[in-house]
């Protein structure tokens, strides 16, 4: 996993925290942590988007955030468990993983093409 995908992963995990904060924050300190989480996750996603396809980055980021938020709501905050939710989240995560795989292979192919072109120019 390269650094940019790590930024997406960390940003998505932080998204889970701040989205939960939007619902559950009750004190100024909790709202401050929520705002800091928003700023950090957006910074990481913007940083990753400079090197990776923006659409894929956003899809993976929101996929991680959605799945993580639903899981956190069920595990931490006691939201009712529904098998259909779990199945749909698994489908979402399969789609996210597929986007990452397709993007990684596309980036590698572009890098190889660029290297061939550069070698031909030299």
How confident is the model over 60-71, as pLDDT tens digits? 899 899 889 999
- What pLDDT, on a 0 to 100 scale, did the predictor assign at position 89? 86
Angle at 58 between CA 67 and CA 4, to 5 degrees: 100
> HSE-up of 1 (CA within 13 Å, CB side)?
11
For residue 102, pLDDT over 90 is answered with no
Round to whole Å and give the CA distance between 91 and 110. Answer: 29
- What pLDDT, on a 0 to 100 scale, did the predictor assign at position 121? 59
Q: With contact defined as beta carbons under 8 Å apart, do 96 and 64 qualify? A: yes
Q: What is the DSSP letter of 50?
A: T
Higher pLDDT, 47 or 86: 47
- What pLDDT, on a 0 to 100 scale, did the predictor assign at position 96? 81
pTM here? 0.73
Domain boundaries, the chain: 3-121
- What pLDDT, on a 0 to 100 scale, did the predictor assign at position 56? 87
């Amino acid at each position: 996993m390269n650094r940019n995908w790590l930024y997406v992963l960390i940003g998505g995990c932080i998204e889970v925290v701040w989205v939960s904060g939007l619902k559950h924050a009750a004190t100024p300190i909790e709202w401050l942590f929520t705002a800091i989480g928003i700023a950090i996750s957006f910074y990481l996603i913007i940083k990753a988007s400079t090197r990776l396809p923006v659409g894929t980055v956003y899809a993976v980021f929101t996929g991680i955030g959605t799945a993580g938020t639903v899981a956190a709501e069920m595990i931490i905050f006691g939201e009712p468990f529904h098998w259909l939710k779990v199945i749909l989240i698994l489908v979402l995560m399969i789609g996210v993983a597929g986007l990452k795989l397709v993007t990684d292979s596309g980036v590698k192919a572009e890098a190889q093409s660029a290297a061939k072109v550069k070698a031909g120019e030299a």
